[in-house]
Amino acid sequence: MCSHLPPCPSAESVDHGAARIVVSHPEQGWSRLCNGAIRFEDLGELLPDGRVLSPRLPY
């Protein structure tokens, strides 16, 4: 999915949250990252393969 350089981390990588936001819907509380993951405003995530990552505290 990533068409820029350097490429974003894949959705399977540990640092997948570092990917660029390509679609933002703050009024709905979510954003889609370049690697296909969906990040919610509570910091939970939905990965392209359907896995759900629970919200985590930002440090």
Question: Is the CB of residue 35 less than 8 Å from the CB of residue 16?
Answer: yes
Residue 12 Cα to chain centre, angstroms: 11
Nearest alpha carbon to residue 40 among 21, 13, 59, 12: 21
Is 47 a residue whose pLDDT tops 90?
yes
**Count of structural domains within the chain:** 1
Which pLDDT tens digit goes with each residue over 4-37?
Answer: 788 899 999 988 889 999 999 999 999 999 999 9
What range does the domain containing 26 cover? 1-59
The pTM assigned to this predicted structure is 0.82
C-alpha–C-alpha distance, residues 6 and 15, integer Å = 14
Is 48 a residue whose pLDDT tops 90?
yes
Question: Is the CB of residue 43 less than 8 Å from the CB of residue 37?
Answer: no
